[in-house]
Structure formats: C-alpha cells, structure tokens
A and B are shown apart, each in its own frame.
Chain A
Amino acid sequence: MKNKVFMGLAAIVMVAFLSSCGTVPQAQIDAVNVAIDSAAKVEAGTYLPTEFAAVQDSMKAIMADVEVQKSKLFKKFGPAKLKLEALLVQTNGLAANTAVKKEEVKKEVETTLTDIKTVIEENGKLFKKAPRGKEGAAVLEQIKTEMATIDAAVVEAQASYDKGTYMDALNKIKAAKERATGINTELKDAIAKVRR
C-alpha cells in the first residue's frame, strides 16, 4: 500500500517538476530591450533603418516564442535564451555600426561644407569678373540673388550640423552645392564668352 502511495506522489512530483523546470529568461530579455533602446537613442532608426527594423522584428519573434513556451505544460526556454543572446550581440553591433555610419555622414557634411565654401568663394571672385557692361544686368542680378540664397542654405546646414542632425544637414548642403556649382559654370561660361 505504501508503495502505491509513493508511486502516486512520485508521478505528481514528476509532472510538477516538468511543468515548472523552465524559467523565463527575463535578464536576457531586459538586456536586449536596453540594447534596443540604446540603438534607438543613437538614431539607428535614422542612419540604419532597415537593420534597426530587423532587430525589432527579431525581438518580437523571440517574445512570441517565450509566450509559446509559457503556454506549455512543459516549458523550454533554452532556444529563446540562445536567440536572445545572439540578438543582444546583433543589437550592440547595430549601435556601434550606427555610430560609424553617423560619423561617415558627419564627415560627408564637413567635406561638403568645405567644398561649398570654396565654390562660394570662387563664385564671389568670378562674379566680380562677370560681364556687366555699363550697368548691372538681369542675369547677374539673378545670380547674385541665388548666391545669397545659397549662403543662407549653408548657414541652415551648418545649424543642422551643429545640432547633430547630420542627415538634414547633408540633404541641405548637397542641394546648395549643386546650385553653387551650377552658378560657377554659368559665371565661367559668361566670362569665357566675353573673352572670345
């Protein structure tokens, strides 16, 4: 009789053990969430949007896996734990890559700012040499206005750069550089025409 009671108890203990052997890898979950937040703070969504979205999606998939295991009688969080560890490495890598990408964009803005300043300076010199005859002319007046607009755009781009919004600065400065280069060509053509 004692044996029967013992066997019954053993079965119940076994079931209870199997159903509660897995614990949610909360520490790993928290670590990945912190890493995702950090990546967001360094603007991974702006500089590496595809990679950032992939990390977020992977986290969603893992969280669904965790819930699947939580729903089971016999829980097994091992695979989810492994996935979380891999995702943590990936997310930390993403934050580092974002910093690299941001630095690249920053450098590009700096280079373009230097380039455009050279073009603007040259345009100023060319403008003085441009054919104007006895008086100023409509064409030169338009060029002068455009040069002022470009100057203003450079100031705006510099402000965006100073604020650390390098993507905005890059777009603005690129457009301004294209216009400044266009004016440079126009002025050179006009001067060459007179020299002919």
Chain B
Amino acid sequence: MRRIYIKTLFFIAAAGLLALIVYSLIAFVPKPPAKEIDNARVALSKAFKSKADTYSKKLYTEAKANYDSAMVNWRKQNAKFIYFRKFDKVLKFAKLSTNKSKQAVESSNLSSSTYKSKLQDKIVSLNKLVEDITNYFNRYPLPKDTRNSISKGKLYLKEAEIDYSKGHYIPANKKLNDSEDLLSSAYDKAYADLEQYFKYYPVWKKWAESAIKESKQNQSYSILVDKLSKKCYVYYNGIKKYEFDVELGVNWVGVKKKMGDKATPEGNYRIVKKFSGTKYNNALLIDYPNDEDKVRFNHEKAKGLIPQNAKIGYGIEIHGSGGKGVDWTEGCIALEDREMEVIYRIVAVGTPVTIVGSMKNLQQILTR
C-alpha cells in the first residue's frame, strides 16, 4: 500500500516537473515587439501617403531607416538560439521609426499645404502678370528676345498648372520658377522701355489739359488721341462726348522722326482739310509737321541722329478703314468707318487734334 502511494506521488511529481519544464520553455521565450513593429509600419505607410517622402524628406528617410534597422535587428535576433534573443534594440528602432513617421506626417501636411497655397498664389500672380503683359505690351513693339521670353514663360506656366492639378507640386514649382524668371525679365525689360517713354508724360498731360480747356473756353470740339490706350476722345465744351478705338502706325511708340518711319506723331495739331471717298474713306488731314516738329527734325538731323538724306513726313490723317485689331498704318490714326463718320460729321477744319503718348501716368497703367 505504501509502495503504491510512493509511486503515485512520484508520478505526480514527475508530471508536475514536466509541466514546469514545458511552462518554462514557453514562458521564458523572449517576446518580440510585434505590435510596435506593426505600428511603425502603419505610421510609415501613412507618412508615405501624406507625401512625406517629398515634403518632409529628412524625417521620412529617418523613419524608413529606423524601420529597416528594426527589421534587420529582428532578423538578427531571430537567427540566435531562442532563449538568447534580445529585442530591446528592435523595440527602440520601431518606436523611433513611429515617432519620426508621425513627425514627418505633421511636417509634410504643414509644408505641403503651405507649399500648395504658395504655388496657388504663384499661379494666380503669374497669370496676372501674363494678363498685364498681354494688356499693355501685346501691341507694344517689343524686341524678339523679349517676345520669346513671354512665349516660353506662358508655356511653362501652362505646364505648371497641369502638374499642379495632378498634385505634382515639386515639378509644378520648378516650372513656375522658370516661368516667373522669363515673364518677369520680359516684363521688366518692357517696363524699362515704357518708363523711358513716359518721361514725356508731364508734357502730354499739359497738352491734354489745355486741349480740354480750349474746348471749354471756345465751346468747341477738340480731338484727343491716347496712343497707349489706343483711344480717340472727342470733347465738346470741355466734356467728353465720344470715345473710339484707334489703330496707329506700326512703330507708334515715340515721336515721329522722319518720313517712312511708320510712327504716329505726338503734339498739338489742327485739322486742315476734310476728305471723303479716299482710299481709307472719310479722312481728316492734320497740320503735321508743325513748327515744333520741324525744329526737332532739323535739330536731330544736325546732330546726326537721323540720316542727312531723311525727309520730314507729311500727310498724317485721321481716317477710316480701321477695326483690324492691329496697328497697321504708316503713321495715321485709323478708326472704324461708322465711327469715323461721326467724327467727320461733327468736326470742322481748324478743330484741334492733340496726340499724346498716354493720358494716364505709368503708375495708373501698370499696377502689379
């Protein structure tokens, strides 16, 4: 009886010992930081989705490197005997990776939204610049290289807009910068040219004011031509009665210097003759060249600024056949026929015609 009791006790002890051994085998296996690794992977994936690889490159690269280090270390530890494995480094790299990924997401969201809004602003501002260039310089005789820059700048802007709409902000930014360089330099060159031209603005202003004043004093008609805005204003009794579009000589910028230069003169003139049924329908001949023009012509000729065989021009008219949408005359001022008819009907020989570069100053015209 006692033997049976000892035997049973021995078996219970053996079973207990075996269970303890099995338990120890399982319980003392080091636990890998699987959850932390998964968190790191998810965070890294989120960072990639938020384009941190582009907008927060440094943090994203660090996060990725830490994740890779965690995995490499994990593999290294797994290669060891099961009870000798240590996962503290794996855990450290996984946590570091998660933190860096989170920072990368925040930084990327911030910089991509800032970046996006900056790009949007740039697109708007460049389109405004293109609009300004088109409005003010499309009919302004610009040098070929300036026109080239404008043209390329516009095309880069279009490409940038396409990239932007697809969310490709980095290439969009590059193209916007290229576009900005070209358009701004073209604008600046054209602006400098125009600024030079506008040195005469105080004179133009004086001419325009006295033309309007004269119309008021004499209770008569007065014609005012604004070359830059391509407008012809008809005043009566100091009040603007009509406003028409005009087309000018091909080289309309600046004063007329000599015959055949295709420039429209600037100055105070009067109608000296009215014609109807001419090549350009109704026409009003003005007294170009006036005394001032003759003095300037002789002075420039004497100084060698114009060729010695050059002749002073003549036959400048306000005539019909306009409305072509381009500057095409030899120096005359062309209006659409029906508008020319209005002027032809109301003005008489002796009516003053004042031709100025612009009635607005440069700041009023160019607001960037």
Contacts and interface: CB of A to CB of B under 8 A. Distances in A.
Interface of A: 4, 7-8, 11, 15, 19, 53, 57, 60-61, 63-64, 67-68, 70-73, 131-142, 145-146, 148-150, 153, 171-172, 174-176, 178-179, 189-190, 193-194, 196
B151 A145 contact: yes
Interface of B: 14, 18, 21-22, 25-26, 29-32, 34, 37-38, 41, 44-45, 48-49, 71, 74-75, 77-78, 82, 85, 87, 138-142, 144, 147-148, 150-152, 154-155, 158-159, 161-163, 247, 250, 262, 323-330
A71 B41 contact: no
Given A11-B22, A67-B78, A194-B324, A142 B147 contact: yes
A4 B155 CA distance: 90
Contacts of B44: 60
Given A19-B82, A60-B41, A171-B162, A132 B151 contact: no
Give the most central of B48, B87, B139, B147: most A CB within 10 Å.
B147
Nearest to A70: B78
B155 A175 contact: yes
A141 B147 contact: yes
Nearest to A8: B18
Nearest to A140: B326
A68 B33 CA distance: 9
Contacts of A8: 18
B32 A138 contact: no
A62 to B, nearest CB: 10
Contacts of A133: 247, 250, 324, 326-329
Contact of B158 (A7, A134, A175, A193): A175
A73 B29 contact: yes
Contact of B325 (A4, A172, A174, A194): A194
B158 A73 contact: no
Contacts of B82: 19, 73
Nearest to B87: A71
Contact of A148 (B138, B151, B161): B151
Contacts of B49: 53
Given A73-B29, A137-B250, A171-B162, A4 B14 contact: yes
Contacts of B74: 67, 71
Given A67-B32, A133-B327, 20 more contacts: A7-B14, A11-B18, A57-B45, A60-B41, A64-B34, A71-B31, A73-B82, A133-B247, A134-B250, A134-B330, A138-B250, A142-B150, A142-B151, A148-B148, A175-B155, A175-B159, A178-B158, A190-B324, A194-B324, A194-B325
